[in-house]
């Protein structure tokens, strides 16, 4: 093996090992939620938070991200919103509560967008009692008995895992090309 190849492999191995030792892990969990109204309108969303913080209740201030999509009864997308991106809240009326023990949403709920535009939608009222899909122009479009389901716990990949994979693939590609030339 040539000296350049050996140095490249050794440098990559040292860099990966040092970054693993020095890095602070990101332990975010992503959850999905779904709501369907009596008239067939629906909402699907996801949220994530840092599970290492040991929260018993996750409210909007503890979320790293929150997205929601609204659909009509024929499953046509009405609009999509991201009330929270990178921990920054972009929706003034946001109310969100998640119980990590029961793995369920609860309490007063207000997620979506309401800037007074005809294309804005938001899911509003109390989980377990009554949830309604609203539009600032049309008012209440659909509602149900407050049922909203949370499912599909998906771990968010740590940046180190993604970076390490890219480096490993790159090293393998370089080695394969050099071997093919020989």
- What CA–CA distance (Å, rounded) separates 73 from 59? 30
CB neighbours of 31 closer than 8 A, spacing ≥ 6? 46, 47, 48, 98, 103, 150, 151, 152, 153, 154
Whether 160 is in a domain gets the answer: no
Domain total in the chain: 1
CB 67 within 8 A of CB 45: yes
Whether 169 is in a domain gets the answer: no
Whether 181 is in a domain gets the answer: no
Least confident of 26-30, 58-62, 64-68, 136-140: 26-30
pLDDT of residue 26: 58
Higher per-residue pLDDT: 37 or 175: 37
Whether 64 is in a domain gets the answer: yes
Enclosing domain of residue 129: 28-154
Whether 56 is in a domain gets the answer: yes
Contacts 24+ apart (CB under 8 A), 124-127: 127/97
Whether 10 is in a domain gets the answer: no
- pLDDT, one tens digit per residue, over 14-55 is 555 545 444 444 578 999 999 999 999 999 999 999 999 999
Whether 180 is in a domain gets the answer: no
Whether 5 is in a domain gets the answer: no
pLDDT of residue 43: 98
């Amino acid at each position: 093996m040539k000296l350049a190849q050996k140095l490249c492999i050794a440098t990559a191995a040292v860099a990966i090992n040092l970054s693993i030792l020095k890095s602070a892990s990101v332990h975010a969990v992503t959850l999905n939620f779904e709501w369907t109204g009596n008239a067939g309108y629906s909402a699907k969303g996801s949220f994530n938070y840092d599970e290492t913080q040991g929260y018993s209740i996750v409210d909007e201030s503890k979320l790293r991200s929150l997205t929601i999509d609204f659909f009509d009864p024929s499953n046509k997308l009405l609009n999509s919103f991201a009330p929270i991106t990178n921990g920054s809240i972009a929706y003034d009326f946001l109310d969100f509560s998640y119980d990590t023990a029961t793995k369920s949403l609860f309490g007063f709920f207000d997620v979506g967008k309401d800037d007074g535009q005809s294309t804005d939608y938001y899911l509003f009222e109390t989980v377990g009692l009554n949830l309604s899909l609203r539009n600032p122009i049309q008012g209440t479009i659909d509602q149900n008995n407050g049922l909203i389901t949370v499912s599909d716990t998906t771990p968010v990949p740590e940046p180190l895992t993604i970076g390490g994979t890219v480096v490993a693939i790159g090293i393998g590609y370089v080695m394969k090309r050099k071997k093919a030339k020989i």
